[in-house]
Amino acid sequence: MIFNPIAIDNWSRKPYFEHYLNNVRCTYSMMANIDITRLLSELKKKGIKLYPALIHMITKVVNRHSEFRTCFDSDGRLGYWDCLSPSFTIFHDDDKTFSSIWTLYSGEFNDFYSRYLDDMKIYGSVKHFAAKANEPPNTFPISSIPWVSFTGFNLNVYNEGTYLLPIFTIGKYFQHDKKILLPLSGQFHHAVCDGYHASVLFNELQLRADTCREWLPNN
């Protein structure tokens, strides 16, 4: 993993970054329904779990854009990671708690899926907030609320407001007009990305779902 510092004085986004970090520090949420009709059908045919497929889709698109990889490092430097891996929540049905697990990202879905299954086998029943230790700094959070098809979701983070990476929340999919739709919410920091960038991300996620036959295994 490589952290690339940003020379702020030469950065085209400098005035927007400074405004939304220093003058009007704010994050915003955007929610969209992703059509997963084809994706869900293909996954069921192949016996592949939906959650890791969605995690990989989100991570794949996030890694295409430096806006979503921009953050402060442990030394307080502004920059962007060359690649992010997902840190995601899992649910313990017996006591209704959850844990967080991270899986090393791979651009190839098969590789990532194998790593996900290995991590779930080892850490899936570990009941700690952070079930898998030694989480690297280049991760971003994904969580799932599969019990409700929400129409909006706003995550309120009460800190200094300097967490710049995106945060995603997946809802319960539902049927509408012969389509299977999945609510997906993203929390973004306005200092590093605008509504345009978030819109590109959601549109690319939809394209990823539509073209799932190109990246899912053939067998």
Backbone angles phi, psi at 88, to 5 degrees: -130, 155
The pLDDT value given to residue 158: 82
Please give the helix or strand (H or E) that residue 181 lies within, else none.
Answer: strand 179-189
Query: Which parts of 20-75 fold into alpha helices (H)?
Result: 37-46, 50-62
pLDDT, tens only, 156-173: 888 889 999 999 999 999
**Mean pLDDT over residues 77-100, rounded?**
97
Q: 63 to each of 28, 80, 82, 151, how far by Cα in Å?
A: 20, 11, 8, 26
Q: What percent of the chain has pLDDT over 90?
A: 95
**Mean pLDDT over residues 110-125, rounded?**
98
The pLDDT value given to residue 1: 86
User: Which distant-in-sequence residues (6+ apart) come within 8 Å of 126 by Cβ?
Assistant: 99, 132
The pLDDT value given to residue 28: 96
The pLDDT value given to residue 175: 97
Beta bridge partners of 185: 31, 169
For residue 190, give the nearest of 20, 19, 2, 9 by alpha carbon.
20
pLDDT band at residue 141 under the 50/70/90 scheme: very high
Residue 132 pLDDT more than 80?
yes
Domain ranges of the chain: 18-70+81-211
Q: What percent of the chain has pLDDT over 70?
A: 100
Catalytic residues: 190
What does the mean pLDDT of the chain come to? Answer: 96
pLDDT, tens only, 21-79: 999 999 999 999 999 999 999 999 999 999 999 999 999 999 999 999 999 999 999 99
33: left (phi over 0), alpha (psi -120 to 50) or beta: beta
Domain 18-70+81-211 belongs to what architecture? 2-Layer Sandwich (3.30)
